[in-house]
Amino acid sequence: MPIRNTTTRWGSVAQLLHWAIVVLIIVQFVLGYRTHWATGLKKLGTVVPHKSWGITILALALIRLVWRLANPTPLLPNDLKPWERSAAHVTHYGLYILLFAMPLTGWIASSARSFPVSWFGMVQLPDFVAPNRPLYDSLMTVHYWLSWTLVAIALLHIGAALKHHFVLKDNVLRRMLPFTKTE
Amino acid sequence: MTGGFTGYARSTLRTASFLTALLLAGAALAAAPAPKFTLDPASSLLRFSFDQAGASNTGRFGKYTADVTFAADNLAASKIDVTIDITSLDTGDKERDDTLKSADLFNPAKFPKARFVSSKISAVGPGRYEAQGKLTIRDVTKDIKLPISFQTRDEKGKQTGYLTGRYTIKRLEYGVGQGEWKSLEWVKDDVLVTFSLKLTPVG
């Protein structure tokens, strides 16, 4: 499998980034919701890795964006209707925006509550804002609703991928999967 | 020699004794009044910071008193006595403050005050001293050696004292961390305490 993308297939780097982020987002939902219900030391046990993985996703998203801009993008099938094409673009843009918005709102919220973010205990990240409880509350509300927006868009994305694979029987899903052949 | 002192020698001896007595009296006079100070809370800071999951968390105490007697030339009469109201701790977050005030950590419901009382102050450099004394947090009292700086400045005709220093406490040695909070996985043992106290003369 080539490292770089072609106009018909995602390369290995793009695939690795895509699937690594998928796994990490699932981990983030588990940690995020356990954090929501935990207190004291147990809360630290979930919120601390949640922050570290969130920063990891932010870094991967940045690499992914740069890689996408520096590579050809596999084309959408020619037989898509204009609304389907638009829907695909909106979904993809939305996912990219959320890959940045989720970690950034979390990071700024941590600063606003004077709980600085550390990346796996190795490096303390700078604070974006001074402690500000109302700002924290607003950001966490945004963080929460963005997470459900992410679920909604991801379901559309998965639904569309499955439709391409099982109904339209084209390459759209397969070209993001390793160990598959696409013509 | 049996004739005893000559007149001259006797007179010299008398003068010397007198001078010695004068010097001793002078020294006693100079050493006697080590000035007393009290805290100017508005211009003082008492802070702490600790590592939580690789990130520094900071807080301060809002209420504490300091009774200080200090004279650089009379350290024997110098003394520092600081009492901290634990309930006044403030990290800027209510949940963290409440956690720190819970029974497993500071437990101010049972141990409302922390206190440092010096027993001996010795000079270690210009303006720098070591205050040996007892630090009490919760129900644990330990002998510590607190490095401090002390300076006085003339402010509107009053000799105002500035007492500063930093000291790292191992929180578990004082029992700040019972039950699950004994764990050092997320909250480290070291707590850095820094203070800069402005002291106004009493009387």
Element housing B43 (H / E): none
Among A115, A142, A143, residue whose Cα is nearest residue A128: A115
pLDDT band at A39 (very low <50, low <70, confident <90, very high): confident
Q: What is the pLDDT of residues B42-63, one digit of tens each?
A: 999 999 999 999 999 999 999 9
- The answer to whether residue B178 neighbours chain A at the CB level (below 8 Å) is no
- The answer to whether residue A130 neighbours chain B at the CB level (below 8 Å) is no
In sequence order, what are the beta bridge partners of B6?
A: none
- The answer to whether residue A122 neighbours chain B at the CB level (below 8 Å) is yes
Q: Do B55 and A45 touch (CB under 8 A)?
A: no
pTM of the model: 0.82
pLDDT band at B3 (very low <50, low <70, confident <90, very high): very low
Query: Does ipTM top 0.85?
Result: no
Q: What is the rounded CA–CA span in Å between residue A6 and residue A34?
A: 41
> What SS3 state is found at B195?
strand
Q: What is the pLDDT of residues B62-111, one digit of tens each?
A: 999 999 999 999 999 999 999 999 999 999 999 999 999 999 999 999 99
Q: Are B80 and B68 in contact (CB under 8 A)?
A: yes
- Closest A-chain CA to B57: A115
Structure tokens at A28: 């983030």
* Chain A interface, best mutation among B101, B186, B187, B188, by max A CB count within 10 A: B186
Q: What is the pLDDT of residues A125-179, one digit of tens each?
A: 999 999 999 999 999 999 999 999 999 999 999 999 999 999 999 999 999 999 8
**What DSSP string describes B5-36?**
--HHHHHHHHHHHHHHHHHHHHHHHHHS-PPE
Q: Are A129 and A139 in contact (CB under 8 A)?
A: no
Amino acid letter, residue B77: A
Q: Which residue has the higher pLDDT, B132 or B157?
A: B132
Rounded to the nearest 10 degrees, the angle between the axes of helix A12-37 and helix A40-69 is: 160
Structure tokens at A54: 């969130």
Residue A55's contacts (CB-CB under 8 Å, 6 or more residues apart) are: A103, A107, A117, A119, A125
- The answer on pLDDT for B178 being more than 60 is yes
Average pLDDT over residues B24-48: 80
